[in-house]
Structure 1
Amino acid sequence: MPNALEISSITVVASAADDDSAARDRPITGNDLETLGVSDNFLAASGFEAKIGQAALLPEQSPLVIAIGLGTDELSAADIRTAASALWRACAQLESVTTLLPLIAAPALGAEVALQAVIEGLLLASYRFDELKGAPEATSQLNQVTLVAPDGVDGDLVLARAGATAEAIALTRDLVNRPGGSLTATQLADEAVAVGESSGLEVELWDRERLAKEGCGGILGVNAGSSEEPRLVRLTWRPEGESRATLHLVGKGITFDTGGLNLKTFEGMKEMKIDMGGAAAVIGAMKAIAAHSPDVTVIGTCCCTDNQPGPTATKPGDVLHIRNGKTVEVLNTDAEGRLVLADGLSLATEDQPDLIIDLATLTGACLVALGQKYAGLMGNDEQAISRVQTAARQAGERVWHLPLPTEYRKQLDSQTADLSNIGSGRFGGTLIAGLFLQEFVGDTPWVHLDIAGPVTTDEIEGEFTKGATGFGVRTLLEIATGW
């Protein structure tokens, strides 16, 4: 696993009376700074204000005591993950630490939620991607973490759930962090199949021949210039008892996007290994969902290919035949993600699910509009939109509802085909892309998440390290388990 802290290093106890750890923490709110017993000069010099994510080593304490900020507002699970992450970074070079975070946060969040948040924060803050380094550096000496939780909490159960969630998010980060040369479409599909088989999911794999037989012209059109075969993977979780609903997840899996014949610039292309972030989130979510065993059916579809400018590549002006029978004039080969999703969404509607959610690093326009911390959310059903918004808020993942203006639909009109893959105007590219996708879901409740921004981060912040974030996994898991 890519997490430096192993789940086996974490112990849950109800009391720290006999603890002999090298360090202990002191979780504290911004309203209680005076109770730390340190001088104003120390607080000023350290910059410690007890904000969420702050940590400070208190002077002249044996064993060591590390103050952990809890802010001044009502606590959320995301806040506790951030606080636990700060503890990890402060203690990474120590051998052991005992934390009261689960105990302190329990009244606000509930004992199990608080404990799970602490475990996930510790594990995910320790994530590193070093599988391609010749000599990976040691990142931590910490091999024993003792968590003090309220008496009566099932520590083993919470450890298992938190470990499964952190492992799924770490897997998603790994997939997004891998270069396109190390993760082709077939390799991404193989990763999905391996997850399905190890998690007890139903697995279905479509190769190029099967995609052609099934009429998936969007995926095949994007793949036309590549020497690598495309793949479509379907993973299905079915509960043992009666299923209360069916949820279908669809992920864009462009393992590297050159732009095709509408070739990207160097600046536009250098980060395009991340263009399969939607499929990675679906794979990670399916792994986590299987571990949590919700009483709903969940299907995850990953549409996998790269987008290359080979001699047989789709040309601007070519027309593709999508699975649902509609035809698309390709006016820009760099608007390829919506083409593979068109097939994936068409297939998803055939299952008649209660909700379809697609995730895609779809438009640079969304990144321009919302920045790197928010995903754009669009949909055709207010109840479905509200459900995803609520789940994202509970998961601590930021989304922002954007409209699908009917008056913009005419920009997708084509004289040659049923519609074109880009709009005729310069502006509103994220909304135009959403309107395009809406053409392939019919009346099925559907939500689209454009995760171009939050799929990666340039900062070490909270539970995140630089690189892939694993965005989307928590929200999808929250929807499945909270239905």
Structure 2
Amino acid sequence: MTRVSKEKRVEFTIKAGSPEKLKSGCVVVGVYAGGDLTASARALDKAANGAIAALLARGELDDKVGATLMLHDLPGVAAPRVLLVSLGKADELTDKSYRDAVSAAAKQLAGSVAADAAFVLTEAELPHRDLAWRLAQAAQILKDSTYRCDELKSKRDESKKGVKKIVIIAKAKDTAPLEAALRRGSAIAEGMALAKTLGNLPGNVCTPTYLATTARKLAKDHKIKVEVLEKGDMEKLGMGSLLSVARGSHEPPKFIVLNYKGSKAKDKPVVLVGKGVTFDTGGISLKPGEGMDEMKYDMCGAASVLGTFKAIAQMELPINVVGLIPTTENMPGGSATKPGDIVTSMSGQTIEVLNTDAEGRLILCDALTYAERFDPVAVVDVATLTGACIIALGNLTSGLLANDDDLAAELLASGQAAGDKAWQLPLWDEYQDMLKSNFADIPNIGSKGAGTITAACFLARFTKAYKWAHLDIAGTAWKSGADKGATGRPVPLLTQFLIGRAGQ
């Protein structure tokens, strides 16, 4: 097993205090557009005899949200550094602009020589968001900013730069809810880090066996039960659809079952299902060579399930959750499934494989059938399923389809709260007419158009026994270009959804 990336640890504490008297290496405060100072910035400015206001009057700090200005050795201020962060116009502060401001501060702190910092941006008030929400978001963003993916480099980043301890300045008689919020944000960031690392690892390292080993380690470190079904087990269960994808690979497929029991044994679980194709060549329907290296990220659904389990276990969330991860490679080869082959799923439905590159739905459908045995209160599957979703929604928003509108609304609200948004697409019966086969019960691809919807329509054929939602994260789980790499999404959305389900 390869070395797991260790993000630089960031410790959070809460205290009350006057910003000008804090002896931290850096004090981080917000400034509104037009030189309008937040309460803490005013206190610092007063101690410094108006030095901050004078600098702002000269235009030293841009009004654009996220602009920063590092000041050194201000007179009357105990801290050697003061980081000013622009919050934009006070009456236009939104969830996004708040996160952007925190992200800008996090970037500066990650490269700072200061060992600790006092963070006061959380005093910036937003409509409909309390202090606990602002603290959780700040902790998540600040910790996530320390993530590095260098475990396979011969020389790792050994830089000593970066803040290690952050004091959140907040006035509250009862700090317990605020401390819980910090733990929540920190746990989500650590779950994202696990999901990112798994998504970033190459296919020759992160194999189905590697995912199974990771699941076992996660279970050992936390109160989680794990079972790994082997090929023979899947054959006995009749998972012919899943196994058809694995036929061309020398890597053995795995079916990982995670069971987190944080609530009463009689409480029905939420089931999360994550697509785990550790490398997708397209099989016989081979993908173009350009950009194929990025197909190592086709297991980010599985990675996000593992990351979510890590987060909820660290929070000790009072809820029962089952995780199902069908995982395999999709490779060409002499024994690989061919276009036109017909396979039998665990449900007994037969599937005509018209395109072997539409393999995600083939492994998910057997997992969705397997989910029935847990009598779930709800099932959410997560998959980098269709390029059509990237065309429809780009890289900002995950696609959401569901057979229950209340469940869909719950997930949409969770995404809004977490800053990990989804958008609902229709799953009308009329779209089912686009899935017809002359030779089997169902083809694995629909007729031309609406590719994201017809993929979900395929999955819907296997989810009639429970409330179900599908998240297509093809556009949101990965970034291409200069910032190439896994994003850790939708761990924040899934975790927020489970937090809400747990009544936290």
Report the TM-score when normalising by structure 2: 0.88
* Structure 2: tracts of 5 or more residues without a match: 43-51
Question: Which whole-Å CA distance do the structure 2 matches of 1:424 and 1:372 have between them?
Answer: 25
Which residue among 473, 484, 493 is the counterpart of 1:451?
473
How many residue pairs match? The answer is 474
407-416 vs 152-161, greater mean Cα deviation: 152-161
Correspondence for 2:226: 203
Question: Which whole-Å CA distance do the structure 1 matches of 2:101 and 2:265 have between them?
Answer: 39
Q: Is the 8 A contact 2:93 2:126 kept in 1?
A: no
RMSD of equivalent CA atoms: 2.4
Q: Is the 8 A contact 2:35 2:57 kept in 1?
A: no
**1:135-150 equivalence runs, <5 A:** 135-139=155-159, 140-150=161-171
188-197 vs 323-332, greater mean Cα deviation: 188-197
Correspondence for 2:49: none
Correspondence for 2:437: 414
Q: Is the 8 A contact 1:111 1:150 kept in 2?
A: no
Asked whether 1:239 is paired with 2:262, we answer: yes
Residue 31 of structure 1: how far off its partner (Å): 5.8
Residue 13 of structure 1: how far off its partner (Å): 1.8
Secondary structure of 2:276's partner? strand
Q: Is the 8 A contact 2:183 2:315 kept in 1?
A: no
Secondary structure of 1:270's partner? helix
Which residue among 159, 166, 174 is the counterpart of 2:197?
174
Residue 147 of structure 1: how far off its partner (Å): 2.0
Residue 74 of structure 1: how far off its partner (Å): 6.3
Is the alpha carbon distance of 1:398 and 1:66 closer, same or farther for their aligned partners in structure 2, counting shifts above 3 Å? same
Is the alpha carbon distance of 1:287 and 1:55 closer, same or farther for their aligned partners in structure 2, counting shifts above 3 Å? same
Residue 295 of structure 1: how far off its partner (Å): 3.3
Residue 157 of structure 1: how far off its partner (Å): 4.1
Correspondence for 1:11: 13
Question: Which whole-Å CA distance do the structure 1 matches of 2:463 and 2:127 have between them?
Answer: 43
Correspondence for 2:396: 373
Q: Is the 8 A contact 2:277 2:327 kept in 1?
A: yes
Question: Which whole-Å CA distance do the structure 2 matches of 1:403 and 1:106 have between them?
Answer: 32
Is the alpha carbon distance of 1:402 and 1:333 closer, same or farther for their aligned partners in structure 2, counting shifts above 3 Å? same
Question: Which whole-Å CA distance do the structure 2 matches of 1:195 and 1:59 have between them?
Answer: 44
Residue 219 of structure 1: how far off its partner (Å): 1.4
Which residue among 358, 381, 391 is the counterpart of 1:358?
381
Amino acid at match of 1:280: A
Report the TM-score when normalising by structure 1: 0.91
Residue 350 of structure 1: how far off its partner (Å): 3.1
Correspondence for 1:441: 463
Is the alpha carbon distance of 1:239 and 1:97 closer, same or farther for their aligned partners in structure 2, counting shifts above 3 Å? closer
Correspondence for 2:112: 93
Question: Which whole-Å CA distance do the structure 2 matches of 1:260 and 1:390 have between them?
Answer: 37
Correspondence for 2:26: 23
Secondary structure of 1:390's partner? helix
Amino acid at match of 2:460: Q
Q: Is the 8 A contact 2:10 2:164 kept in 1?
A: no
Q: Is the 8 A contact 1:262 1:332 kept in 2?
A: yes
Q: Is the 8 A contact 2:10 2:166 kept in 1?
A: no
Correspondence for 2:239: 216
Residue 372 of structure 1: how far off its partner (Å): 0.8
Identical positions, percent = 35
Question: Which whole-Å CA distance do the structure 1 matches of 2:494 and 2:266 have between them?
Answer: 17
Residue 75 of structure 1: how far off its partner (Å): 5.3
Correspondence for 2:146: 126
Asked whether 1:304 is paired with 2:306, we answer: no
Residue 342 of structure 1: how far off its partner (Å): 0.6
Correspondence for 2:277: 254
Q: Is the 8 A contact 1:56 1:67 kept in 2?
A: yes
Is the alpha carbon distance of 1:296 and 1:20 closer, same or farther for their aligned partners in structure 2, counting shifts above 3 Å? closer
Q: Is the 8 A contact 1:23 1:98 kept in 2?
A: yes
Q: Is the 8 A contact 2:136 2:184 kept in 1?
A: yes
153-162 vs 441-450, greater mean Cα deviation: 153-162
Question: Which whole-Å CA distance do the structure 1 matches of 2:169 and 2:127 have between them?
Answer: 14
* Structure 1: tracts of 5 or more residues without a match: none
Amino acid at match of 1:115: L
Amino acid at match of 1:439: R
Question: Which whole-Å CA distance do the structure 2 matches of 1:211 and 1:165 have between them?
Answer: 32
Amino acid at match of 2:15: V
Correspondence for 2:496: 478
Question: Which whole-Å CA distance do the structure 1 matches of 2:93 and 2:325 have between them?
Answer: 35
Q: Is the 8 A contact 1:345 1:440 kept in 2?
A: yes
Question: Which whole-Å CA distance do the structure 2 matches of 1:268 and 1:435 have between them?
Answer: 28
Question: Which whole-Å CA distance do the structure 2 matches of 1:408 and 1:269 have between them?
Answer: 30
Residue 409 of structure 1: how far off its partner (Å): 1.8
Amino acid at match of 1:481: I
Which residue among 83, 102, 111 is the counterpart of 1:84?
102
Amino acid at match of 1:375: S
Q: Is the 8 A contact 2:263 2:319 kept in 1?
A: no
